[in-house]
Amino acid sequence: MTQMPFYVSPEQLMKDRADFARKGIARGRSVVVLGYDGGIAFVAENPSRALHKVSEIYDRIAFAAVGKYNEFENLRVAGVRYADLRGYSYDRTDVSARGLANAYAQTLGTIFTQESKPLEVEIVVAEVGSTAATDQIYRLMYDGSVADQEGFVAMGGAGDSIEEALTERWHPGLSLSEALGLAVELLGRDPAGNGADRQLGPDQLEVAVLDRQRPRRTFRRISGSLLDALLSTDDPMTDAPTVDEAATPRHASSNPQTQRADDESGA
């Protein structure tokens, strides 16, 4: 006797896939991306010095992600190849965050609808402009949907509660020290409000910036004594001279193709 195949409605199938992807992303530690007066800052809770959640893609473009490390690392590498090929074939100025976001959206959307398992990832593609008004921040979901964010975005873990707080407290023109302090404070909050807030130290953070004052490659990691000073409430520092000091951080790589993103399913 031939057994009839089990039927699942398209609506239920898409819902199950979305629930599966959201649960995987929610297990990841949060990442905050926010603008400051000199560019765009990326702050992630990440104690690893070998695996990165934040990486350079091209001259003025960076990538941040949460979810399964191996899945968004493949996306990062594909983004580097896309940018390199387009810049080589045409011109470096033809490589844009919008074009990269569109390419990622097509890939994520195709996998979500056609593969048996969606990617458990959420990513941000950001490009620093010549002024704050021309900065671009795009948030891409597991199903390929794209959102053009204004000023800030938070994803993974307690991303929703962090975004609510950023809506109230973030404003254009923050200094780098103020932006990092705000992001670190919100990353350490207990989203349920049932326990004491955590004090995240520099060794538990991954911090990078797209510095609009740099002439070509604007991506810089910030760590060590520089990060200590920027997060210090006792000795506030200005942005411009300090970001350049991060040119040779502890775990930076001059070749974006050798950088690692970060995260395992629960990282």
Tens-binned pLDDT, residue by residue, of the chain (267 aa): 566 667 778 888 899 999 999 999 999 899 999 999 999 999 999 988 889 999 999 999 999 999 999 999 999 999 999 999 999 999 999 999 999 999 999 999 999 999 989 999 999 999 999 999 999 999 999 999 999 999 999 999 889 999 999 999 999 999 999 999 999 999 998 766 566 788 898 999 999 999 999 988 999 999 999 999 999 866 444 444 445 544 444 444 444 444 444 444 445
pLDDT of residue 244: 52
**How confident is the model at residue 85, as a pLDDT?**
96
Q: 69 to each of 31, 97, 185, 194, how far by Cα in Å?
A: 14, 21, 25, 29
Instruction: Return the pLDDT at 262.
Output: 43
- Whether 230 and 237 have beta carbons less than 8 Å apart is answered as yes
Topology, domain 27-250: Glutamine Phosphoribosylpyrophosphate, subunit 1, domain 1 (3.60.20)
**What pTM did the predictor assign?**
0.84
Ordered by start, the domain boundaries in the chain are 27-250
